[in-house]
Amino acid sequence: PLHCEPDGIFRHEAEPTAENLSGVCPLVRKHEADIGFALDPDSDRLALIDENGRYIGEELTLALATLARLRHERGPVVINLSTSRVIQDIAAKFGCVCYRSAVGEANVADRMQQVAAVIGGEGNGGVIDPRVGYVRDPFIGMALVLGLMAETGRKLSELVSELPSYTIVKDKYTIDSTRLPSLFDGLTRHWPDAKKDDTDGLRLEWADRWVHVRPSNTEPIIRVIAEAPAEAEARALCAEVGKLLR
């Protein structure tokens, strides 16, 4: 264990991001560990580090946990509107339905109970397994990923390399709340071929990419999250939203 002293002092920023874990990743390789785990201070987000010391991140935590779970029990999966479609692809591979909810643990948990989901969560490394409880639990995430590695005999890097490959890009723009209806209408007209979901802001989806525009509850901004097979494609989606704001 590293930085686990209960002294109230954080050795780096709290989020388990690649930048904040730059000192941890080399230690996984140095000690020849099979995997590294990183949690945030309140233990609801789980990031993974592979045996080569490569930061895998939080988005694929839920993907691997979903893969592990569906190998044993088929059933509905629930993720929020801003979570990677990798989970959607995994569910489809097993013939399972993947539902999306508004952002927030409570929204995901409510939807999971409605559809009797076997697993769910959020793309920030939050895994929810109803066998344990309807809250994000990083330790069940660890158990599922370790179980998957043990059952398949594969290294974490190998399991990750077999997952569908997408890139998520995030941005934010300042906007007055009174402009939101016209922005959402403009986005819908700009991309008439997209599948629309206005459950939580506006999410537009195509066969292999999506963009989610969501207003902040505390600031006069919108958060824009886009995912596509290539980073340039995801950035282009975010940029288009910015153009329509001007």
From residue 145, alpha-carbon distances to 50, 90, 141, 157, 159 in Å are: 11, 15, 6, 12, 10
From residue 137, alpha-carbon distances to 17, 40, 84, 125, 133 in Å are: 18, 12, 19, 9, 8
Contact 213, 201 (CB under 8 A): yes
The pLDDT confidence band at residue 128, using thresholds 50, 70 and 90, is very high
- Name all domains of the chain by residue range, CATH numbers in brackets: 59-161 (3.40.120.10), 167-245 (3.30.310.50)
The pLDDT confidence band at residue 6, using thresholds 50, 70 and 90, is confident
pTM of the prediction?
0.91
The pLDDT confidence band at residue 246, using thresholds 50, 70 and 90, is confident
Q: Is the pLDDT of residue 93 over 90?
A: yes
Helix, strand or coil, per DSSP, at residue 235 = helix
Element (H, E) at 122: strand 119-122
Q: What is the mean pLDDT of the segment spanning 124-145?
A: 96
* Helix (H) and strand (E) counts in the chain: 8, 12
